[in-house]
Amino acid sequence: MTEASTGTPETAANGKGKGKLLIVADLFLFAKLREGAISLGYEATGAGNIDIARKKLAEEQFLAVLLSFNKDGFDWEGLLAHVRSTPETRELPVLAFGSHVDTAAFKRAKELGADMVAPNSQIASDFPYVLTSLLEY
């Protein structure tokens, strides 16, 4: 399955060379976060399913993973567990985010090793601060 068939854009390589972020989110939020990342000088790529995300993590170098726990059909728990259990990625900063009312997912993300958790509203409204905080964590 290709990324085109999953509905997630491949890579925005318009960043200014600070590094690459893996962003897993619905198309609307992905586009907003990708735009924010590029404006801050980062590259951004997405993954429409867990297999694509794992492949990218194995083949590319990332500064961080931004992972929505509300992306329909995406095994976010499986990806977070994979990131934390793989020697090459276990030290990557991970931001998990989603609906502010999904308190169980916030708790579960922390249990699985997310470095930060935040509601969608904070990610959308204050992305530069959240990203800087994650990368300095």
pLDDT, tens only, 35-60: 999 999 999 999 999 999 999 999 99
* Structural domain includes residue 13: yes
Q: Which SS3 state, helix, strand or coil, does residue 20 take?
A: strand
Number of domains in the chain: 1
Q: What is the pLDDT of residues 89-124, one digit of tens each?
A: 999 999 999 999 999 999 999 999 999 999 999 998
CA dihedral in degrees (122, 114, 27, 5; nearest 10)?
Answer: 180
Measured CA to CA, the distance from residue 37 to residue 49 in angstroms comes to 21
Q: Indicate which CATH number applies to the domain containing 94.
A: 3.40.50.2300
* Structural domain includes residue 63: yes
Measured CA to CA, the distance from residue 61 to residue 11 in angstroms comes to 13
* Structural domain includes residue 78: yes
Residue 72 has pLDDT above 90, yes or no: no
Residue 12 has pLDDT above 90, yes or no: no
Measured CA to CA, the distance from residue 45 to residue 66 in angstroms comes to 10
pTM of the model: 0.86
* Structural domain includes residue 125: no
pLDDT of residue 109: 96
Domain holding 69, by residue range, is: 3-100
* Structural domain includes residue 51: yes
* Structural domain includes residue 134: no
* Structural domain includes residue 132: no
pLDDT of residue 137: 72
Residue 14 has pLDDT above 60, yes or no: no
Measured CA to CA, the distance from residue 110 to residue 9 in angstroms comes to 28
* Structural domain includes residue 128: no
